[in-house]
Structure 1
Amino acid sequence: MALLVVLAALVFLMWVAYRGHSVILFAPVAALGAVLLTEPSLVAPMFTGLFMDRMVGFLKLYFPVFLLGAVFGKLIEISGFSKSIVAATIGVVGERRAMLSIVLVCALLTYGGVSLFVVVFAVYPFAAELFRQADIPKRLIPGTIALGAFTFTMDALPGTPQIQNIIPTTFFGTTGWAAPWLGVGGSLFVLACGLGWLESRRRHAAAIGEGYGVELRNEPAPFTGERLAHPLLALLPLALVAVANFALTRSIPRWYGPTQSFVPAVVGDAKPVVQEVAKVAAIWAVEGALLLGIACVLACAWRPVTRAFTDGSRAAVGGALLASMNTASEYGFGAVIAALPGFRSVADALQAIPHPLVNEAVSVTALAGITGSASGGMSIALAAMADTFKANAIAAGIPMEVLHRVAAMASGGMDTLPHNGAVITLLAVTGLTHRESYRDIFAITLIKTLAVFAVIGLYVFAGVV
């Protein structure tokens, strides 16, 4: 019965997310409903002492990353830099390679720190124009954008500032550059297989005479070729974020040492606040890098940015609040579910998987699929089982950096099931439906899930880290 209660709570949360309801509202409903069916007297204590405690703890650590990332992405958009990057990439790769062009543009933007949701809005008009000119079916656009934005630059490439690469640092004491060669290997696997799949779909459509399509929805106005910033100038903020993230990741531990403490009052008997630097160094590095990126955009495009800054920053803050609160609610939900007796059966079943890395990968990607969120599923899994993962890894002689990379990539495995928020947004923006385009997104989902196990094999059989 206890196990059924836990499964019912998970299924309920997945169902309401699929139906488009707010996870912020229904995550506590699902969690406390499970508590009510298990031990009614613990509903209030669990809500205040566990759900809210973990939710607020998540926001304390990660909200600045969400906020700065959203602001940086919006500034890249309103400055016109995103258009310049898209146009330059198309010019280099060529219009005939429309799919490759769009994948590379999405990868550049996301690896440079631009939010996945911002990338969808920024790239879609150009993707539609390119696919129209090349007579490639529009229904292949979502899969193409998903490959570039929702896969290897989100969680595999070392140093990516996306939240999926930052969350494991606080559990394993690692940095965003953990296991770089495994990350590069996994990225190449996803990129090669993903492009192979999309190209096979394009050739099949061409063979049967299917073109761009007619009677389409949400068609953007054709790009008119307005005057754009020089592409090198547009790329400068993205490059600065990547370089600064790398430099700060290595410098912050040297500047502050293992711990940093301060007394929060000039007078009185306030206790000193002690900060373990290793647990937050990667977060500080990303925040510092994004601040430098924001300053760079302001310095390089002051006039266009200031004209649209009020509305743009308001939209960025709103998006950051929504994304962080969604994930934090799922984090609180996971903490409550993990505290229930029924979850022990789930944990025991997952722990029965003998290899520590396969155990971690299956646990993380399963919960990411159930919640429809890479960051939410990983947060739930690591909050409940990180200590077990670490203990098993230490016993097997597996470095924490490998645990980090496997967890990050597994979170981006089955997360893009039909109820995923980014998938729903992508289809809505492109004016397509699950029936028309989800097949290709699901293929990309399977490819990036397989990539996790390819990376595990690369470590186990070749010792690559």
Structure 2
Amino acid sequence: MAVLGILLSLGLLMFMAYRGFSVIFFAPVFALLAAIFSGMAIMPTYTQIFLPNLADYIKVYFPFFLLGAVFGKAMEESGAAKAIAKVIVQKLGKRQAILAVVLSAAILTYGGVSLFVVAFAVYPFAASIFKEADIPKRLIPASIALGAFTFTMDALPGTPQIQNSIPMQFFNTNLYAAPVFGTLGAVIILVAGIFYLEWRKRTAQAKGEGYGTNHKQEPEMVEDTSLPNPWLSALPLVAVLAMTLILQTMVFPHWDISSWVTKAPYSIPKGGVIGVMNNWALIIALLVGIILAMAINPRRIKGHVATAINAGAIGSLLAVLNTASEVGYGNVIKTLPGFQTIAHALMGINHGGSPLLSEAVTVNTLAGVTGSASGGLSIALATFGKEYLAWAHRTGISPELLHRVAAMASGGFDTLPHNGAVITLLGISGLTHKQSYKDIFAITLMKAGTVFLLIGLQSILHFV
């Protein structure tokens, strides 16, 4: 009954999310439904498990949602997004619009900018360039997802995203683990994803479908005469990327801040001092980006500062609550006895052979159940990390491969309809699951399939 309750809960949550119902309301409802099937008390589950985990997520990530949304609106109101889109279309041609959006998202993500911030920052640019090239708007979420939620999130060696850092503590590895495996996977995902999106574009345009009209969340139209210089327009984006890297790698590591963030009235943060410093770096970088975005075109931004700040702030509230509700849901599910039953059954896959297949299936499945790549990855490795490591030693598999497979598998079925990042991306774009989710899911299948393809190749060629 406990397992049935989890599966029923998950199915209903995905169905309601796909139908456009708010997960802010239904995530706790279906989390409590699963708890009832496990014989747990309703109100303590809600107030002592769901709400604290929701609050913890908001406490850590709200500044990124807020500043990321304001940054995206500032780029839009100043005309910077339109200027960048226009010059890319002129230089690369309209046929390369999808590639331009994918690479823009990829560069920011690989540079360490939060996935949610990337979605806020890239969308105004993506909407402008897709409109300029007359490509269906419904392909924007999948294009951003390919650039931000796949190969730069966890496949490319060295990516600073959390999905690539979580396995380090379990396998004693570093961010560059299994470089050949990860790089090959990144190339496959990028090429396959671009091929798919270009095919979808050609199919739609052959039927006479263009960008479309009457869309929601459309960037304000800016007259070409008032656009800033395109190279100057890119400065805020470059500044966010550069400032984050400089502060995280060159400035804060040389500061002894532990003496004043661990004493009263402060306390040792959950993510440690290093985690706090990395958060500070992104907050400062986003503030610098916002200031630059408003400064590059003072004539245009004059009278629109309040619009950028207010619209960004309001939009960020819905985005962060959507994702936080999913985090609360996942943490309720992971406490249920049925969840342990599912996890242990997954651990038995390919027992006696290579641990890579079992690890990939387990991480992928748990990420799908929790609706979170980092959540599913953390739960899987906290539960079975030592067993996978011992299994790898027995079979001659390197810990680096365990690291890379776990990281890449986490970014597969985590993007089911109830995933917070998917809901946020669709909300930012003003689109629905019905309009755009099919293409996001296709990218998800390619991402998940690549992991298993590489596991098969590795068993034959023995590369890392």
Pair 1:453–1:155, CA change in 2 (3 A): same
User: Does the Cα contact within 8 Å between 1:366 and 1:414 map onto a contact in 2?
Assistant: yes
Mapped partners of 2:211, 2:320: distance in 1 = 37
1:381 matched to 2:380: no
1:73 aligns with 72
Mapped partners of 2:51, 2:382: distance in 1 = 22
Mapped partners of 1:95, 1:273: distance in 2 = 52
CA-CA distance at 1:347 after TM superposition: 0.8
1:228-261 per-position Cα deviation (integer Å, ceiling 9, x unaligned): 2222211222222222222233243442377864
Question: Of residues 282, 286, 289 in structure 2, which corresponds to 1:286?
Answer: 282
Matches within 5 A, 1:90-101: 90-101=89-100
2:273 aligns with 277
For 2:332, the aligned partner's letter is V
Mapped partners of 2:173, 2:322: distance in 1 = 24
User: Does the Cα contact within 8 Å between 1:237 and 1:296 map onto a contact in 2?
Assistant: yes
Pair 1:312–1:389, CA change in 2 (3 A): farther
2:303 aligns with 307
CA-CA distance at 1:348 after TM superposition: 0.7
Pair 1:241–1:456, CA change in 2 (3 A): farther
Gaps of 5+ in 1: 266-271
Taking structure 1 as the reference length, the TM-score comes to: 0.77
Matches within 5 A, 1:40-55: 40=40, 42-55=41-54
1:2 aligns with 2
Matches within 5 A, 1:135-154: 144=143, 146-148=145-147, 150-153=149-152
For 1:445, the aligned partner's letter is T
User: Does the Cα contact within 8 Å between 2:151 and 2:186 map onto a contact in 1?
Assistant: yes
1:82-141 per-position Cα deviation (integer Å, ceiling 9, x unaligned): 112111222221234444344445545766755425534542343133147xxxx78766
Mapped partners of 1:73, 1:177: distance in 2 = 29
Mapped partners of 1:234, 1:180: distance in 2 = 37
Pair 1:101–1:49, CA change in 2 (3 A): closer
For 1:124, the aligned partner's letter is A
Pair 1:185–1:280, CA change in 2 (3 A): farther
Pair 1:170–1:440, CA change in 2 (3 A): closer
User: Does the Cα contact within 8 Å between 1:183 and 1:405 map onto a contact in 2?
Assistant: yes
User: Does the Cα contact within 8 Å between 2:89 and 2:97 map onto a contact in 1?
Assistant: yes
| Larger deviation, residues 195-204 vs 246-255 | 195-204
| Larger deviation, residues 425-434 vs 228-237 | 425-434
1:295 aligns with 291
User: Does the Cα contact within 8 Å between 1:50 and 1:336 map onto a contact in 2?
Assistant: yes
1:206-232 per-position Cα deviation (integer Å, ceiling 9, x unaligned): 8xxx35338954378998644422222
Mapped partners of 1:274, 1:242: distance in 2 = 27
- Aligned residues between the structures: 443
For 2:268, what is the secondary structure of its paired residue? strand
1:184-212 per-position Cα deviation (integer Å, ceiling 9, x unaligned): 54432222112233445566788xxx353
Gaps of 5+ in 2: none
| Larger deviation, residues 424-433 vs 5-14 | 424-433
CA-CA distance at 1:313 after TM superposition: 1.7
Question: Of residues 127, 130, 155 in structure 2, which corresponds to 1:127?
Answer: 130
Pair 1:243–1:400, CA change in 2 (3 A): farther
For 1:273, what is the secondary structure of its paired residue? coil
1:82 matched to 2:59: no
CA-CA distance at 1:350 after TM superposition: 2.0
Matches within 5 A, 1:165-180: 165-166=161-162, 169=165, 179=177
CA-CA distance at 1:317 after TM superposition: 1.8
CA-CA distance at 1:413 after TM superposition: 2.4
Question: Of residues 334, 341, 364 in structure 1, which corresponds to 2:337?
Answer: 341
Quick one: percent identity of the two aligned structures? 45
Mapped partners of 2:132, 2:38: distance in 1 = 55
2:442 aligns with 443
Mapped partners of 2:30, 2:313: distance in 1 = 27
For 2:268, the aligned partner's letter is V
For 1:212, what is the secondary structure of its paired residue? coil
CA-CA distance at 1:5 after TM superposition: 1.3
Mapped partners of 1:48, 1:393: distance in 2 = 34
For 1:192, the aligned partner's letter is V
Pair 1:127–1:91, CA change in 2 (3 A): same
| Larger deviation, residues 311-320 vs 221-230 | 221-230
For 1:344, the aligned partner's letter is Q
1:352-374 per-position Cα deviation (integer Å, ceiling 9, x unaligned): 23555544543443355456xxx
For 1:448, the aligned partner's letter is K
Mapped partners of 1:159, 1:224: distance in 2 = 41
Pair 1:414–1:437, CA change in 2 (3 A): same
Mapped partners of 1:441, 1:302: distance in 2 = 37
Pair 1:286–1:420, CA change in 2 (3 A): same
| Larger deviation, residues 210-219 vs 426-435 | 426-435
1:29 aligns with 29
| Larger deviation, residues 384-393 vs 253-262 | 253-262
User: Does the Cα contact within 8 Å between 1:218 and 1:431 map onto a contact in 2?
Assistant: no
Pair 1:183–1:278, CA change in 2 (3 A): farther
Matches within 5 A, 1:43-442: 43-105=42-104, 107=106, 113=113, 114-116=117-119, 119-131=122-134, 144=143, 146-148=145-147, 150-153=149-152, 156=155, 165-166=161-162, 169=165, 179=177, 181=179, 184-200=183-199, 210=206, 212-213=208-209, 217-218=213-214, 225-251=224-250, 252-256=252-256, 261-264=261-264, 273-275=267-269, 276-353=272-349, 358-369=357-368, 376-382=371-377, 384-392=379-387, 394-395=389-390, 396=392, 406=405, 409-417=408-416, 440-442=439-441
Mapped partners of 1:96, 1:384: distance in 2 = 42
For 1:20, what is the secondary structure of its paired residue? coil
Taking structure 2 as the reference length, the TM-score comes to: 0.77
User: Does the Cα contact within 8 Å between 1:125 and 1:223 map onto a contact in 2?
Assistant: no
